[in-house]
Amino acid sequence: MNDKTYAPVEAAIGLPDGWTRGGSHPGKFEMGLDEGRSCCGSGTAAAYIRSLSPVPVPNSFGTICQKFYPKNFLGQKVKLTGRLCFNLVGTESWTGLWVKVDLKTSHNRARSFRLDNMSGRKLCGSSEGEWIVCEITTDIPVNVEAVSFGFLMVGLGIVWSSDLAFEIVRPLSAPVSPQSSDELIDLHNNFSKLAITKPDPTGESNNKQRETQEENTQPTDLEGRLAIKVAD
């Protein structure tokens, strides 16, 4: 094994409000903020995911993620950008950002409209200490239920992330990122447990839950700051 990959982070702390840990086997990954590492000299702590298993577990991944109602993005095309720094072990290990868009249905159930976890353009190996800029562009329909996003790591190694932000893309006809070829996120994550509560099928608490949902309309970055860029 690579000692550099599995070296302890310098100063691990918990995640900001609104962010959560997830994945197929979250107990096999250490996740948090590393106060000893910042992106491009910004001085802010980077989030990290580090594998704890000594051997690869098939299809095992960890993710740090967030869910929000995109009130300011309805009917728009948006781009998520973020920086990743990574040192991964093995040919099956990879990392990337991800975005999942769910739509409302007439039966108060969300269905997946779009998922991009960069599985078709995954980052492997080592970034050699450099921060790699990643982007995902997607449409946000007006009947959206929620947007979930974050970064993930599959396999063995460590990855840091920083500077996650959304911005509106012009024109509306601009191309979107390719759909993911697998359902890695859908298979292993129960997004109903994240920040936005699904509407009650009985309809008795829909109004209260919608009020709670609309309070969480602004995504935050991994330092707890507003993660929306002003479009030019």
List, for residues 178-218, the tens digit of each pLDDT value: 655 444 444 333 333 333 333 333 334 344 444 444 456 77
Helix (H, G, I), strand (E, B) or coil at 189: coil
Please state the length of the chain.
232
pLDDT at 26: 84
Is the pLDDT score of 219 beyond 90? no
Mean pLDDT of 31-44: 75
Three-state helix/strand/coil letters over 97-166: EEEEEEECCCCCCCEEEEEECCHHHCECCECCCCCEEEEEEEEECCCEEEEEEEEEEEEEEEEEEEEEEE
Q: What is the pLDDT of residue 98?
A: 94
pTM: 0.77
Which DSSP symbol is given to 7?
Answer: S
State residue 193's pLDDT score.
35
Give the amino acid at 167: E
Q: Which CATH superfamily is 3-215 part of?
A: Galactose-binding domain-like (2.60.120.260)
Q: Which residue has the higher pLDDT, 184 or 155?
A: 155
Q: Are the CB atoms for 174 and 137 separated by under 8 Å?
A: yes
pLDDT one-digit tens code per residue, 95-109: 999 999 998 877 766
What is the distance between the alpha carbons of residues 120 and 156, in angstroms, rounded to a whole number? Answer: 19
**200/156: higher pLDDT:** 156
Q: Please report, as a single letter, which amino acid is at residue 188.
A: H
Predicted confidence (pLDDT) per residue in 123-152, tens digit: 999 999 999 999 999 999 999 989 999 999
State percent of the chain over pLDDT 70: 66
- Cα of first residue to Cα of last residue in the chain, in angstroms, is 46
Q: What's the whole-number average pLDDT of the chain? A: 75
HSE of 62 in the Cβ direction (CA atoms, 13 Å)? 26
